[in-house]
A and B are shown apart, each in its own frame.
Chain A
Amino acid sequence: MAPLPPPEPSRLLETVAALDARKIRFEINRWQLPNGLEATFGIIRHPGASLAVPVLADGRVVILRQYRFAVAARLLEFPAGTLDEGEDPLTTMERELQEETGYAASRWDALGAMLPCPGYSDEVIHLFLARDLRLLPNPPAGDADEDLEVLLMEPAALDAAIASGAEALDGKRITAWYRARPLLNL
């Protein structure tokens, strides 16, 4: 493999229109690309997010069945959350893990940064593996509009669910799982 190319930001020439919605913003922008071409297209501005693969001492993973209005379905997803302004991604993840699953972790490994939709969103998701979990007697409350159920799954069952084709594929779940498996000797 050739060395990785360095980042090459495009130059923003003009924001033609924009619409804010809670944590995200949609902009239609005119850009000049590094190759000199000019183009106008829409982009989601996102503050970034963190996601964790939480694994219990017996090897089971802690995973969520979460309602997602944008696709009108309940998807199998790992716990995740949006970064608050200026927040360190691990701090975000420690909080979200407690709120969404009721577990806290004391061993963390970084699994890299993932881009879920590089064609139209600048979102970066920071991936982590969370181990040495303990169930909190009084977990903090999560967001009121989160509609989710906590599940415990054997790794083989998660692999089978992904491979079955019977279920919609959540890209961040599979990317994080792909990166976590070697650290779990799977």
Chain B
Amino acid sequence: MPKWAMVIDLDKCTGCDACAVACKMENNVPIADPAEAQSGRAMFWMDMMTTTEGAFPNTVTKRVPKPCFHCDDPPCTLVCPVGATYRNPEGLVAQIYHRCIGCRYCMAACPFTAKVYNWYDPKWIDGAEVGNPDVSRRMVGVVEKCSFCSHRLMSVKETAHREDRPIMDGEYVPACAESCPAEAIVFGDIENEESRVYRLSRSYRVMRYGEDLGVKPKVYYLSRRTET
């Protein structure tokens, strides 16, 4: 059984936001109107964490792309009263929207604020109503989050099964990894010792957020800087 994981190389990342845009388009993530976004209700599955340090003009801006970390020991699944979020055998932390009752316990439990809530029915800009038919539209009152583009896994699995072979490294990639112009995002099976993700996750540059929490995130960051 593969275990899907992601490596984000911050030394390569230019903070261009292509991953965040690709993710929004791929997963039909609603675009909040400016007033809602101001009140902290902007919805991102791939969120660009931005911090600015120093005083003008000597400022340093740091940008770190943050998807759901698909923890191996996820705290969000423990608190869900209805089993709408769970960790599947392949290590994906799933969110089943039609089971979700919108209590937002999981959002409170997630140390990385990876989950977002649908405060109102999504409004689509003209021409974007159709969206990606491979991903369902979420309705008001449910929590959603990055799925590692699990709908892509469905079709990859089908093809591999039909051709009677295992899934090859790099065959299943989420939209963010696919769109990254700097190729900073690498995705694959971390239990396959020949995969790029396996190799990169053993780099001396590797770090994970929330290492002290014991939740075992499956998104690894690479950076030469000691603190990110």
The answer to whether A and B come from one shared complex is no
Q: Which residues of B contact A (CB under 8 A)?
A: none
Q: Which residues of A contact B (CB under 8 A)?
A: none
